[in-house]
Structure 1
């Protein structure tokens, strides 16, 4: 989805295009030539209509009805966001609200939930935060036979969390091998993350120093490694303020609303979309059909990665709203929240 470079538009066309986009983003309504005629352009209504026609021909504007004014297309919004938008700093009140919410005492998960809530409140959109993918350090592991070829791995973290995973085991694995593997794994896991334990166990097995028999080694190699990889791929998403998306304009298009709420229910898909912003140097904006997930509901996503104190990206924060949201205001708000979150992450 691409339009002409902003430099290819005449000064007159840029001025009219900017007024249409800013008017639409402010009111949610198409902007007519009569409104533009009294905006200080010093152009006749006929000249304004001619420019509007040209912008529509370029795919930057559209008229929802024959007699209505113009509104930007998604191509037009992208051109405006990339080439014309003047981003302001968050207001002092917005910065204070964000910092106050994040500074409340409690675990980091509470701060992440607060970040999504305050973004939702300030932007009148849905606030979203992807929780850091941090592996817990483990305290104990127990393997329990379930059925031939299946065992349950029960992992207990130092933080008291418990994870259960069904793993494949050799169909005729004797109970003694399962017990030996449990004891060996517990001894190796204490105080380590799973990925750290996997590296240590593989190194010991490769060096021939492990006392495990072949069946137990196979269980360790396949079961533990698989669990560790799966744990790293399970993002956790916090969504707050989805009801903000049900504004007066949305109610007139119930099918779009239904599609949008269905999209938000698919948290794994939303997390995959936000994941695309993890490697960005700055806040990313996805407008309407630019992202597959929200193409049908015509929604936009503004997302920014947040980093720990060592500069590593650990998660993503952002908002989901209609394509007509106030990008110039929300972009710096999301960026400020990402930086504020980064200060809290150890």
Structure 2
């Protein structure tokens, strides 16, 4: 059954629906007619409220998990609430200061992104996730260290201080001293460039016949640069913090859901693919339960927002993963503010 637009609900039904959803999001438990008729509730009899609840259930907006347990919103109901009723609560000055302070802390950008993910987890009581910008480091130094016949350890040091290691396959015919020669050549001639720029410069030298290296050494330079260039292009970098927040009391009563959720989070490529769908969004995107296939079985929601560099180019995504009863009104603007703050850092 298609979800009715919010304008088709009567004023009475809309108010009761809002109170049910807000009550459920606050407590995680179904909301009954007695609670709705209580202090600050609806000025109607319990019988009248039950009649409206039954109508909302018939529209697919509410569900009754047990005969007398009250109602809770369905995923369709949550979507209608988020899109048509929810009033967002902007981050408090204290939350804004905490986010900006954590992002602006001295150190490499990866450390700031990791701290941001942890902070979002703490503020939202969900799991904080950040996709790190897919950017190649600028090369400062590359050292090739022999490991034995046919193998070497390639150690790359970037201008940002990052260090990465890779095992490199070597041709058995490589002449003595070639590893040191190639290490010195790359560091001296290609330093200060991204890996893609370094590889392009190397190919241009070879094509022009200006390279002072022999054929075997030229091949080794290509291998040493390509092993990182391919990695950077294909490997999304994802930081997830606060997974333990997702194991709430409700989750622990359903061990299969817990297992499914943890398996989903372990598959960082799939999480990154999901967040990637938010890269082209103009505003924060909200995925509720089965609206995304990745978390359909665990019944989790995702709130994600892209962050941009000073040129307006999307360079990553930041978000929160939590149960469908996330406090959307609070978390959505918090994620949006964090994305804007990260954009200032990246800029």
The question of 1:271 aligning with 2:272 is answered yes
Partner-residue secondary structure (3-state), 2:20: helix
Equivalent residue number for residue 251 of structure 1: 252
Equivalent residue number for residue 36 of structure 2: 36
Moved more, 228-237 or 25-34: 228-237
1:227/1:97 Cα in 2 relative to 1: closer, same or farther (>3 Å)? closer
The question of 1:54 aligning with 2:55 is answered yes
The question of 1:305 aligning with 2:332 is answered no
Equivalent residue number for residue 19 of structure 2: 19
1:30/1:218 Cα in 2 relative to 1: closer, same or farther (>3 Å)? same
Shift of 1:72: 0.8
Partner-residue secondary structure (3-state), 1:134: coil
Shift of 1:223: 6.5
**Mapping of 1:169-248 within 5 angstroms?**
185-206=186-207, 210=211, 224-225=225-226, 227-248=228-249
Q: Distance in 2 between matches of 1:70 and 1:131?
A: 40
Q: Which sections of structure 2, spanning at least 5 residues, go unmatched?
A: none
User: TM-score, normalization: structure 2?
Assistant: 0.84
Q: Which sections of structure 1, spanning at least 5 residues, go unmatched?
A: none
Describe the superposition over 1:268-299 as per-residue Cα deviations: whole angstroms up to 9, x where unpaired: 33233222222222211111122222222111
Describe the superposition over 1:209-251 as per-residue Cα deviations: whole angstroms up to 9, x where unpaired: 5566666666666774453132133233333222222333223
1:22/1:190 Cα in 2 relative to 1: closer, same or farther (>3 Å)? same
Residues 148 and 172, structure 1, Cα contact 8 Å, conserved in 2: no
Q: Distance in 2 between matches of 1:114 and 1:182?
A: 35
Moved more, 77-86 or 130-139: 130-139
**Mapping of 1:43-82 within 5 angstroms?**
43-82=44-83
Shift of 1:322: 0.9
Residues 151 and 170, structure 2, Cα contact 8 Å, conserved in 1: yes
Q: Distance in 2 between matches of 1:299 and 1:2?
A: 22
Q: Distance in 2 between matches of 1:155 and 1:2?
A: 56
Shift of 1:188: 4.2
Equivalent residue number for residue 95 of structure 1: 96
Shift of 1:309: 2.9
1:92/1:180 Cα in 2 relative to 1: closer, same or farther (>3 Å)? closer
Q: Distance in 2 between matches of 1:144 and 1:92?
A: 52
Shift of 1:84: 1.6
Moved more, 189-198 or 235-244: 235-244
Q: How many residues are aligned here?
A: 346
Residues 34 and 45, structure 1, Cα contact 8 Å, conserved in 2: yes
Equivalent residue number for residue 9 of structure 1: 9
Shift of 1:262: 2.9
1:99/1:152 Cα in 2 relative to 1: closer, same or farther (>3 Å)? closer
Shift of 1:94: 1.8
The question of 1:136 aligning with 2:137 is answered yes
Moved more, 160-169 or 193-202: 160-169
Q: Distance in 1 between matches of 2:8 and 2:175?
A: 75
The question of 1:86 aligning with 2:95 is answered no
Residues 307 and 339, structure 2, Cα contact 8 Å, conserved in 1: yes
Q: Distance in 2 between matches of 1:34 and 1:167?
A: 70
Shift of 1:125: 1.6
Shift of 1:33: 2.2
Residues 108 and 160, structure 2, Cα contact 8 Å, conserved in 1: no
Moved more, 320-329 or 241-250: 241-250
Shift of 1:74: 1.2
Partner-residue secondary structure (3-state), 1:259: helix
